[in-house]
Chain A
Amino acid sequence: MTGLEKRSYWRSVYRRYGDAEQAGRKFLVADAGGRVVGFVIGEVRDWEFGSQPCGWVFAIDVRPDIRRSGIGTRLLEAICASFRRAGVRKLRTMLARDNTLILSFFRSQGMMAGLFIPLEMDLET
């Protein structure tokens, strides 16, 4: 969740997630009278780190002019409901530490630090 525009990336995301609900992939949009005002993308993953199947949220976005009116919450509720129907009992996401907005949003939904700590390093060329 970076906030950068990446057209080709999104096109490939759409190809993978937009088409029906296959292999646990979810792409939901918030529709306000025919206008798309937000979306959420996620997936059920059951292969990671030997953990139970869990629902991942990769991206969520609401149009800036109508934020803070509960649409983000409803989108997340909708994807959670669909994860639940798929038998999933855990929701996960990964966020940039300095993106206070999106961190605050997920915190407000009751999400807390999980059992995993992401680590990374630069690979020298």
Chain B
Amino acid sequence: MRLQKNTSLALYSVIEFAIDPARRISAAEIADKYGVSSHHLAKVLSELARAGVVESVRGVGGGYRFSGNARRLTLMDIIQLFEDFDPRARERREPKELTAVDMALGAVLSEIDEIAKATFSSITLATMLRLIERQQSGATTAAVRQDGERTAVRPGIPRSRDRKSNGRRKLA
């Protein structure tokens, strides 16, 4: 399974919102952080809003805020908004035109897809946030070991005010 750029963008955005559900974030801020155009991101965010994952905030600056249930919402719920999983969508030929090679390759590829789907369906946003925390404390311990001092270490996810200093990140 290869996720399209919009899908990864949606995942990054939703996590960004869910980390701090009370916080209003503008499309421009996320677009800037991930090096995409605001126009491009706006489409992703309005799809997320349509699905009720985020809600738009009126007023100065506008933007969005998390409005989903992090304990119930899975990565698959978000991915499904942007990807078409119907195998027929990928296969443009009629079933009777398929050769044994097509079918054998199809079987292997769908094995991979099934595992991917099971994985995405079993990870809620709450689980994802815990995973991020664990990565941070892992990174923290590693860093502590490296420079041997505790105080200098800060977790990896930037808080709102020092977001800029962390620079841009490109989506893969």
| Interface residues as binary, B12-48 with A (CB distance below 8 Å gives 1, 0 otherwise) | 0000000000000000000000000000000000000
Given contacts A97-B114, A97-B115, contact A103 B121 (CB under 8 A): yes
Chain B count of residues within 8 A CB distance of the other chain: 14
Contact: B118 with A107, CB < 8 Å?
Answer: no
Contact: B114 with A107, CB < 8 Å?
Answer: no
Contact residues of A with B, CB < 8 Å?
Answer: 97-98, 100, 103-104, 106-108, 110, 113
Flag whether B6 is at the interface (Cβ < 8 A).
Answer: no
| Interface residues as binary, B88-118 with A (CB distance below 8 Å gives 1, 0 otherwise) | 0000000000000000000000000011001
Which one of B118, B119, B131 contacts A98 once the chains associate, using CB atoms below 8 Å?
B118
Given contacts A104-B124, A104-B127, contact A110 B118 (CB under 8 A): no
Contacts of A113 in B (CB 8 A): 119
| Interface residues as binary, B118-129 with A (CB distance below 8 Å gives 1, 0 otherwise) | 110111101100
Bound-state Cα–Cα, A98 to B74, Å: 15
Flag whether B134 is at the interface (Cβ < 8 A).
Answer: yes
